[in-house]
Structure 1
């Protein structure tokens, strides 16, 4: 049995940072560390592709958001999708629409410096912080967890904008702590993708709030059952059982797992992507996902499974995940799969790897 984890030597260990009383985090960071932002800005300045096209894609989304109005709900009431699908979708779209708008604008501000984007991002963040006080119903915590990631990532990006009033900033932090993270932590001990989204949302919140104790607990949880979630051949037992949607749910579990690993790396320097036990690894699960996305007739868990499609507009999964994971594993098969569809954006339903072409990930720094 082998269990490996790589750490970068130039980052202080989490326990040492806590012991010294220093903030462990550099802001902005989390999902989008400063090194990544600086690297992308330089590629755009040099007019390099696919960054130039990807930034234009982002700015078109942000520009659309400039004239949008918010849909904040006091009670984020989300019935079970398989119970009341129409009401589930309609109520979910409130934070999905607003969250994507806030996130797009906040990222646009970081890359361009134009305050109109920061101001619009804050419009959505402030609206939700002032309005949303609770969540309810069967899927309330889950949908808030996987869609609200957009709000926390937007706030992290806009954190240093001087136009964000102190009172509004504090109120948003209160929403993150008392509403959003309450939801994520409520589901982070589940066995399937609910836990994965809970942990990713929670670790984003921890990073934003500089809560080292809870961040460490999320890292512990990720490690505690990673190799129960991934079988020796790479399939994910809790997800493949979802009949025709087994491939989708495999993606829907791996997206938050990998995103949480990325935030962990940026927060602590620990490389959870490198964990391996008895041949089980995140890489093995990603390879399994890609293979059956390309060979669905061989999927043994259910006949004619649903697949991600480039014809699904701006929601082509698992291309968004694999585009990002090329930066981690440098597997040419990932790049061969995603390259024809660049620039890739995912703006539906949930938010982890939303702008993967524009914002590449890298272990060991950007070159």
Structure 2
């Protein structure tokens, strides 16, 4: 697909989207005056996805010196069930993530994507152990997982050529994890030069790319039916596959989507409003598009947005700083809301109240409309409703990615640092419990992103 055709689609669809979702200053993005930039040629010095060779060198030096918190973080990785070289992959022929109510009778295996989630976590963790220890058994185990999926899985289940359930789109949330494992393993026994590697790249692209690309263009023929994490699942898939396959067009397309796209993955819609911190810290707080939903999803958005921006940063595109640090403001907003509570909030449903500190001033929030063409009338989603309080204070191993990056480049991230300090060193996502979505983030942010 030519880049000018992509931009034309984005401009056309964006006009309908922005009529419904308000951004910070109350005005929609003016696409009539926007001109597509020239295509950028990114330099890909592999590994260059979430972790560069310099990153691995830095962590290995810390581990060699038994420095903290890296030593304890690596000990946690060593104890993980997913980082065991005896781990065996469990690929399925067709991936499914179907709604039980609609499909249980017709498809007894209506949910089998959890096989992929488990194996993606294992491939990544084993790849880390190989890269940080140079022990062949971990590289062999990680490689065997990726090869097994490329050889045995035909893709995501379809009937008559089409997905049968929108939930299947969220299987893409594991694509960036698989791609990052493969990116780390490029240098293992020259695997990146083999036919096996080429077969894996072909499999991951054919399984995820067309689906993710179509969703970002059409959103299932709705104007803005979806929450931010749906866009981010597709965006992280496309960017990681583009880097893995050295596909400049994929990379350009999805980075431009972040800046000018038609859905909630556009940074100006992902971060609806900016505020000065009422506690006088000087921090900017950015209201997340899912902050009025529940805190589990708001923190998932921080995880996926962090991964997306870190992958872009490692190939030369600084999205952390884009728009005066708008995504960092979003992470600060979500972190503060989940670490601090107002004095009148004694109990939070589904939250971990022992984690909370107190904040002196009320938390800033602006009601907004979640637009859904399938509803007769969209309704405002209030932050302080039960839905928004649910999961408040939950633990997700993502915060040292934000804090470590910002510290390294000289950006402020006070509340990300506050949350990170309570988890440090964090572990694999499976060690924090929760539902199947626990494996939607990689974990080990202290090990790989903390910066002294």
TM-score over 0.5 for the pair: yes
| Partner in structure 1 of residue 259 of structure 2 | 223
Determine if the alignment matches structure 1 residue 92 to structure 2 residue 176. Answer: no
Deviates more, 1:34-43 or 1:143-152: 143-152
- Larger RCO of the pair (alpha carbons < 8 Å, separation 6+): 1
Pick closer, same or farther for the CA change 1:308–1:39 going to 2, 3 Å: farther
Q: Distance in 2 between matches of 1:143 and 1:109?
A: 29
Alpha-carbon offset, residue 196 of structure 1: 1.0
Pick one of 123, 129, 135 that aligns with 1:108. 129
Asked if structure 1 preserves the Cα contact closer than 8 Å seen for 2:291 and 2:298, the reply is yes
Pick closer, same or farther for the CA change 1:205–1:324 going to 2, 3 Å: same
Alpha-carbon offset, residue 124 of structure 1: 0.5
- Structure-to-structure mapping, 1:137-156, within 5 angstroms: 137-139=164-166, 141-156=168-183
Q: Distance in 2 between matches of 1:295 and 1:88?
A: 42
Asked if structure 2 preserves the Cα contact closer than 8 Å seen for 1:81 and 1:88, the reply is no
Pick one of 204, 211, 224 that aligns with 1:183. 211
Determine if the alignment matches structure 1 residue 302 to structure 2 residue 321. Answer: no
Secondary structure of the 2:156 match is: strand
Determine if the alignment matches structure 1 residue 281 to structure 2 residue 326. Answer: yes
Q: TM (normalized to structure 2)?
A: 0.67
Secondary structure of the 2:314 match is: helix
| Partner in structure 1 of residue 422 of structure 2 | 340
- Return 5+ residue gaps in structure 1 as ranges: 3-13, 19-23, 311-315
- Return 5+ residue gaps in structure 2 as ranges: 1-23, 26-37, 158-163, 261-265, 275-285, 346-362, 364-381, 408-412, 431-436
Deviates more, 1:52-61 or 1:70-79: 52-61
Asked if structure 2 preserves the Cα contact closer than 8 Å seen for 1:141 and 1:187, the reply is no
| Partner in structure 1 of residue 199 of structure 2 | 171
Pick one of 116, 128, 132 that aligns with 2:149. 128
Pick closer, same or farther for the CA change 1:50–1:226 going to 2, 3 Å: same
Pick closer, same or farther for the CA change 1:345–1:157 going to 2, 3 Å: same
Secondary structure of the 1:153 match is: helix
| Partner in structure 1 of residue 4 of structure 2 | none
Deviates more, 1:93-102 or 1:350-359: 350-359
| Partner in structure 2 of residue 329 of structure 1 | 406
| Partner in structure 2 of residue 271 of structure 1 | 318
Q: Distance in 2 between matches of 1:168 and 1:44?
A: 32
How many positions carry a matched residue from both structures?
333
Determine if the alignment matches structure 1 residue 118 to structure 2 residue 139. Answer: yes
Pick closer, same or farther for the CA change 1:346–1:59 going to 2, 3 Å: closer
Q: TM (normalized to structure 1)?
A: 0.81
Pick one of 186, 202, 205 that aligns with 1:159. 186
| Partner in structure 2 of residue 10 of structure 1 | none
- What's the CA shift string for 1:159-211, capped at 9, x where partnerless? 12126382211210111221132333233344532111101111011000000
Pick closer, same or farther for the CA change 1:353–1:69 going to 2, 3 Å: closer
Q: Distance in 1 between matches of 2:40 and 2:196?
A: 32
Asked if structure 1 preserves the Cα contact closer than 8 Å seen for 2:49 and 2:240, the reply is yes
Q: Distance in 1 between matches of 2:179 and 2:445?
A: 18
Pick one of 245, 256, 278 that aligns with 1:209. 245
Asked if structure 2 preserves the Cα contact closer than 8 Å seen for 1:145 and 1:180, the reply is yes
Structure 1 stretches of 4+ moved >6 Å:
84-89
| Partner in structure 2 of residue 194 of structure 1 | 230
Pick closer, same or farther for the CA change 1:210–1:309 going to 2, 3 Å: same
Q: Distance in 2 between matches of 1:265 and 1:334?
A: 19
Alpha-carbon offset, residue 335 of structure 1: 2.3
Q: Distance in 2 between matches of 1:82 and 1:325?
A: 38
| Partner in structure 1 of residue 161 of structure 2 | none
Alpha-carbon offset, residue 17 of structure 1: 4.1
Asked if structure 1 preserves the Cα contact closer than 8 Å seen for 2:124 and 2:142, the reply is yes
Asked if structure 1 preserves the Cα contact closer than 8 Å seen for 2:400 and 2:450, the reply is no
Pick one of 350, 357, 360 that aligns with 2:446. 357
- What's the CA shift string for 1:237-291, capped at 9, x where partnerless? 3x2453xxx2222222232222111111111x221111227xx811221222122
Alpha-carbon offset, residue 359 of structure 1: 0.3
Q: Which structure dedicates a bigger proportion of its chain to helix?
A: 1
Q: Distance in 1 between matches of 2:299 and 2:314?
A: 22
Determine if the alignment matches structure 1 residue 66 to structure 2 residue 85. Answer: yes
Q: Distance in 2 between matches of 1:78 and 1:67?
A: 27
Pick closer, same or farther for the CA change 1:98–1:63 going to 2, 3 Å: closer
Which protein is bigger by CA-based radius of gyration? Answer: 2
Pick closer, same or farther for the CA change 1:17–1:148 going to 2, 3 Å: closer
Asked if structure 2 preserves the Cα contact closer than 8 Å seen for 1:327 and 1:361, the reply is yes
What root-mean-square deviation, in Å, do the aligned CA atoms of Structure 1 and Structure 2 show?
2.9
